[in-house]
Chain A
């Protein structure tokens, strides 16, 4: 599908690296104006078997910001997100070309276990383990040989995920007893327990009601001070509400990536404008 569609809308890929460094862009980054880069992605191509789903993606993800990836279904935003912690390697017949640097170091040269400890992930549907709430959060610590007070760390993580008050009395109940929104925050707590530098969120609110969504958005804004957040979302209002930087992807290519306020008010590419004004997608 991607291959056939791209042939006629195929302007040179806009390298977004330059855009995030654009002086006018810097101002919109608010308190993160002098943000360092967490991820530097260059020339990233991604293949599912013979089918290419990312084309020469260039993107820079600033530290301690919320970067939103938007675009229609199948545009490759989830695929892109999953390459950032090499989750795509769990799927057979996938191939990646290009550079992805995390703090200047290629993620493909890193030990994958260490990479995933540094780059946590939360999925579209809440996926708590069939264990107690406590064990869910402790899991990442246990498998990574955490030495220290497990209970303290679990409590801290649940606090960070704004879930502690709701679950402090039922820590040993099954995680499945929680509501969908609570489960998703539990998954965030579970990811935060290993203290990642980056948190990847793959449409974290698409299975949740508006109240739970609001809680998670608030949470993201709080997390920004301690870690870098990259969120894939279908919901453009959400991207506009929470993100500092937004990247618009279309058919496996980055169309533009700019500070969110600019992208939503003065998009530089007609396709971005068409998408955010709801003319397609």
Chain B
């Protein structure tokens, strides 16, 4: 009996220890990456990184102002495509869809989510770059936008589904149409979760390199408008990190840090906006 009890205590401790070890590994990996990034990135970061264009090979200094703006433009375009399509599809699935068709849609978006990003790059290349005969921000934004759709769909659907039926009934019983109920009650109740999902979605595509390589391509200069090859941080990191110059390596570190900071910043701003709107909505 006592032996059995001791064994049980031992297993209990062992399992507790195991979960602890796994948690430590998971968290420390992230912390190590972050720390490494901050140390290396901050060392090479300077004001000129944000204001100057890349310098030619051999010349020290320079920055990635064009890539920062380029990434912002690409993410903006991607959001314009991915978020509306994704969210509205999610609303359809959660609120209107039948059984069979919804299953097909859900399955298809899951498959799309599993498509390697480079394949989506080829898709955008065929659909946008080939007819236009040149690389462009549009093509890059399109590729990233397509990548955003599946997560936007699924997170919107999940968070809408989590809203209890009783809220919908309460609204419908007051004479609200289904659409009004969705817009005025269900979505406001789920907006926090949906926003979080979309932020994760943006963070995910912000770091994508592969689909940009042959859609937005890159550019060592400013690319005004939406119609020219556009530099972006991930592609710059890729190019600079595999170059044989120490100075470029430092630039790549800085770019990685800036990319991370930008994603974080978008996240915080979106949450602040959401929070202030929510507190003003109840005024």
Give which listed residue, A90, A130, A135, A140, contacts B174 with CB less than 8 A.
A140
Stretch binding the partner chain, chosen from A7-15, A116-124, A216-224:
A116-124
Q: Is the CB of B174 within 8 A of A120?
A: yes
Specify the main secondary structure of chain B where it touches its partner.
helix
Q: How many chain A residues touch the partner (CB < 8 A)?
A: 31
Q: Which B residues between 139 and 182 are near A, CB-CB below 8 angstroms? A: 164, 166-177, 180
B170 with A87: CB separation less than 8 A = no
Smallest beta-carbon distance B193→chain A, Å: 12
CB-based contact A117/B167 at 8 Å: no
B173's nearest neighbour on chain A, judged by CB, is A121
CB of B170 within 8 A of CB of A117, answer no
| B273 touches A (CB below 8 Å) | no
Identify the closest chain B residue to A114 (Cβ). B175
Q: Which of A20-28, A187-195, A252-260 forms part of the interface with chain B?
A: A187-195
**Cβ contacts under 8 Å, B174 to chain A:** 116-117, 120, 139-140, 143-144, 190-191, 194
User: Which of B172, B175, B176, B189 neighbours the largest number of chain A CB atoms within 10 Å of its CB?
Assistant: B175
Give residues 91-128 of A contacting B (CB, 8 Å): 113-117, 120-121, 123, 125, 127-128
What interface size band does chain B fall in?
Answer: 20 to 34
**Complex contact B282–A132 (CB within 8 A):** yes
Number of A-B contacts (CB under 8 A): 78
A131 x B170 contact (CB < 8 A): no
User: How many Å lie between the Cα of A114 and that of B177 in the bound state?
Assistant: 11
B175 touches A127 (CB 8 A): no
**Interface assignment of A129: CB less than 8 Å from any CB of chain B:** yes
A243 at the interface (CB under 8 A from B): no
Alpha-carbon gap, A269 to B145, bound state (A): 68
Query: Taking A131-B281, A131-B282, A132-B282 as contacts, is the C-beta distance between A87 and B171 under 8 angstroms?
Result: no
> Which chain A residue has the least Cβ–Cβ distance from B192?
A130
**Cβ 8 A contact of B188, one of A117, A131, A190:** A131
* Contact of A129 with B185 in the complex, beta carbons under 8 Å: yes
Q: Which of A87, A129, A130, A144 contacts B172 (CB 8 A)?
A: A87
3 smallest CB-CB distances across A and B, nearest first, come from A132-B282, A140-B174, A127-B166
Beyond A127-B164, A132-B281, A143-B171: 14 further Cβ-contacts under 8 Å? A90-B169, A117-B174, A127-B167, A127-B169, A129-B170, A129-B171, A132-B282, A135-B281, A140-B176, A143-B175, A143-B184, A144-B175, A172-B282, A190-B170
- On B, residues with C-beta under 8 Å from A are 164, 166-177, 180, 184-185, 188-189, 281-283
* 9 interchain pairs, CB-CB under 8 A: A85-B173, A113-B177, A123-B166, A131-B281, A132-B283, A139-B176, A143-B180, A144-B174, A190-B170
